[in-house]
Amino acid sequence: MSDTSPDRAPGASAGPPAQVPDGRELLPTATRARTRAAVRELVRPHRRLAAGGFAVMVAATAVGLLVQPLLGRIVDLVADRHPPGSITLPVVLLVLVALVQGAATTAGLSLVARLGETVLAQLRERFVERALGLPLEQVEKAGAGDLTARVTRDVSVVGEAVRSALPELARSLLAIALTLVAMAALDWRFFLAALIAVPVQASTARWYVRNAVPLYAEQRIATGAQQQQLLDTVSGAGTVRAFRLEEEHTTRVERRSSAAAGLTLRGVRLVLDFYNRLHVAEYAGLAAVLVTGFLLVRGGSVSIGTATAAALYFHSLFTPVNSALVLLDDAQSATAALARLVGVADQPSPDRPPSPSGQDERSGAGDPRAGDPHRPPAPHATTAAVNATPAATVTVTGLRHAYEPGRPVLHDVDLTLRAGERVALVGVSGAGKTTLARLIAGVHRPTAGSVRVTTGGAVPGDGLTVALVTQETHVFAGPLADDLRLARPGATDGDLRTALAAVDALAWATALPDGLDTVVGDGGHRLTSAQVQQLALARLVLADPPVAVLDEATAEAGSTGARLLEQAADRAVEGRTALIVAHRLTQAATADRIVVMDGGRIVESGTHDELCAAAGSYASLWEAWSGTRTAHPTPTHHRGTHHRNSSTHHHSPDTTTVKDH
């Protein structure tokens, strides 16, 4: 172990950018053909808008091309020694052209933007709908970053393209096409001369895209790595200082920043080389057009004015050609981003779940998700009462699970949670508690066996059957009330207050600067980790499912906070069938029943006292946990304070009388 110590010099431990863990399965990406088809499908309902926008843009560009012949006309009038007054007409026409072109461009760009933005909005809405409907298992297999990257980077890349690149590209391409047509109209030989530049431009564009796409991809990775390192270092500044890692972290940032800067400069060089080649094309084309003009004027087939117009036409092509070629790269990355969006947006919609895999023996009715996966906003007819849903029975039969084939983590688990029963799941880390919890909550499909949820009465509306609250938390950005209403869209302010009160959160919530309207989450008011968990429990109360699964939902708080959270959790699951994965045994000790897991199997089951008396693995766990406690009041006294139907929940830790036993 000490053989690597010499390498541990500061700075030596920063590895390459985080590698994707093995066995990742990225979310689907659409093929080129499918992407095109999807865009066609999205545009089809707006095809009149599309046709109108295109027509107006063509008209605007075409009108603009009258400028050069009008200027040529002036040159001719002067060359033919017409009186100065004769140029007034073409000048007036020039002004007219300018006004018409401006107006038509305004109209055309508006129409194109309306088309692009409407289609984009539809695409992103469908994307978000399908993304939120993806089975969690699939999202996790792909890695958390995949979906996040799509919803942030890809949506913004496509948005940016629709907003700026698309209109610009359309305008440039139209200008190029119509200018070439106009040159051909002056004389077809001008058109041929202009084409001399095309091979150089085409090869330059191909060369650029070939180099730019991988380079920019590399740049994005490097910039992302730099950003990640900065966030790591800055948000962990306290830890960095405490461990005296300042030098190492500065070096890490320095290295990442240098890498990003190096790639930026490589990109700069690429663009500059690109322009250099385009300058060659510009010169070749311009010289060819001038020579053609010279020859045609000498041969008498065109006037000096026409030759001038042709030269001016070609000179005016520089700008649209350059911008169109630069935009090729944007278009390329937008297409790739679009393919990733369409890949997710093409996933079956949540109300048509994918057909179960062959190994899945969960009966449709037994699968809380497959049986009722649709779950539109639950009407919750009875909004007045917080806990109106009758509890349900959960029957787990012969449940087996393996995340990777050949490495089973659950072996033939049978378990019944009776209606309204509060069951604590304990065991050492890696015993399979979380896996069992997740299978019951329907996050994963079991390799074998079934989970059956039988509700005693009718669940109001299409309400949620099993809710899962884990130690992983998130506060949704926006007003606190909106966050809570995600769990029950129709909840009144009174409902929200009742739910918050149930988890002891009403006091701090109303004390927030704007009460329940306080903006929380990213960029808003910062909540403590205990408050965030209380919020998660309040959402559970509002979602009001017959079955609740809590997986170490109280673990993130410090030990003092944990106790308060446990009390809140107890109240949140009251009246529900609850499975609580507990790492603090006091929480387990107060449950109706304790189930002990070890090595993926259930090894013990019973009340706290039964298990303690049985002197099995729970008893030794309890021994280890309580340590000196055996000589002192045992927590069994809590059972006395925990009547399921009691309306007050004073969890007085000082109670010394043992009531029930």
Q: Spell out, one character per residue from 253 to 272, where the chain touches other proteins: x when CB under 8 A holds, - when not.
A: xx--xx--x--xx--xx--x
Please report the beta strands in 307-436, taking only residues with DSSP state E, as ranges in sequence order: 392-404, 407-417, 422-426
Q: Which is nearer to other proteins, 128 or 331 (CB)?
A: 128
Least separation, in Å, of the C-beta of 98 and other proteins? 2
Tell the smallest beta-carbon distance from residue 41 to other proteins (Å).
18
635 contacts other proteins (rule: CB under 8 A)? yes
Does the footprint of other proteins cover residue 502 (CB under 8 A)?
A: no
Residue nearer to other proteins on the CB measure, 457 or 489: 489
Task: Retrieve residue 253's tokens.
Answer: 């940032």
Q: Contact, 133 vs 79, CB < 8 A?
A: no
**What number of chain residues touch other proteins (CB under 8 A)?**
197
- Give the shortest CB-655-to-other proteins separation in angstroms: 11
Minimum distance between the CB of residue 195 and other proteins, rounded to whole angstroms? Answer: 18
The Cα–Cα gap between 545 and 575 comes to 10
Task: Give residues 54-73 in contact with other proteins (rule: CB under 8 A).
Answer: 64, 67, 70-71
Tell me if 388 contacts other proteins by CB under 8 A: no
128 belongs to the binding site for other proteins (CB under 8 A): yes
Position among 348, 354, 398, 430 found at the interface with other proteins (CB under 8 A): 430
Q: Is 474 in the site for other proteins (CB under 8 A)?
A: yes
CA 201: distance to chain centroid?
38
Contacts (CB under 8 A) with other proteins, residues 507-526: 521-522
Question: Which candidate, 122, 150, 178, places its Cα nearest to that of 27?
Answer: 150
Q: Looking at residue 46, what DSSP letter applies?
A: G
226 contact partners, CB below 8 Å, separation of at least 6: 253, 256, 257, 259, 260
- Residues numbered 168 to 187 that lie near other proteins (CB under 8 A) are none
Contact in structure between 458 and 628 (CB atoms under 8 Å): no
Does residue 14 belong to the site contacting other proteins (CB under 8 A)?
yes
Query: At 403, is the secondary structure helix, strand, or coil?
Result: strand
The tokens 């359309």 sit on which residue?
170
Q: Any contact of residue 237 with other proteins (CB under 8 A)?
A: yes
CB of 45 vs other proteins, minimal distance in Å: 15
**Per-residue binder mask for other proteins (CB under 8 A), 184-213, x = binder:** ------------------------------
Return the number of the residue (32 or 298) whose C-beta is nearest other proteins: 298
Applying CB under 8 A, which part among 246-254, 388-396, 507-515, 607-615 lies near other proteins? Answer: 246-254
Please report whether residue 280 would count as binding other proteins according to CB under 8 A: yes
524, 477 contact by CB (below 8 A): yes
Q: Which of residues 19-48 bind other proteins (CB under 8 A)?
A: 19, 21-22
Residues in the chain: 661
451 is a contact residue toward other proteins (CB under 8 A): no
Torsion of CA 637, 642, 646, 647, to 10 degrees: 110
User: Cα separation of 313 and 175, whole Å?
Assistant: 10
Residues numbered 286-325 forming contacts with other proteins, rule: CB under 8 A: 286-287, 290-291, 293-294, 297-298, 304, 307-308, 311-312, 315-316
Which residues is 595 bridged to in the sheet? 425, 605
Selected binder of other proteins within 109, 222, 500, 596 (CB under 8 A) = 109
* Run of H or E residues at 549: strand 547-551
Query: Does 131 engage in binding with other proteins (CB under 8 A)?
Result: yes
Confirm or reject binding of residue 583 to other proteins (CB under 8 A): yes
Spatial separation of the C-alpha atoms in residues 555 and 266, rounded to whole Å: 47
Residues 332-361 within binding reach of other proteins (CB under 8 A): 350
CB of 398 to other proteins, least distance (A): 25
| Rounded Cα gap, residues 437 and 551, in angstroms | 7
CA distances (Å), origin 276, targets 31, 193, 230, 270, 326: 35, 21, 36, 10, 13
Bridge partners for 455 per DSSP: 392
Q: Using CB under 8 A, which residues numbered 74 to 93 contact other proteins?
A: 74-75, 77-79, 81-84, 87-88, 90-92
Please give the residues from 563 up to 582 whose contact with other proteins meets the rule CB under 8 A: 563
CB of 594 to other proteins, least distance (A): 12
- Under the binding rule (CB under 8 A), the answer on residue 407 touching other proteins is no
> Tokens in use for 353?
């779940």
3-state DSSP assignment of residue 550: strand
Residues in contact with 205: Cβ distance below 8 Å, sequence separation at least 6, in sequence order? 325, 328
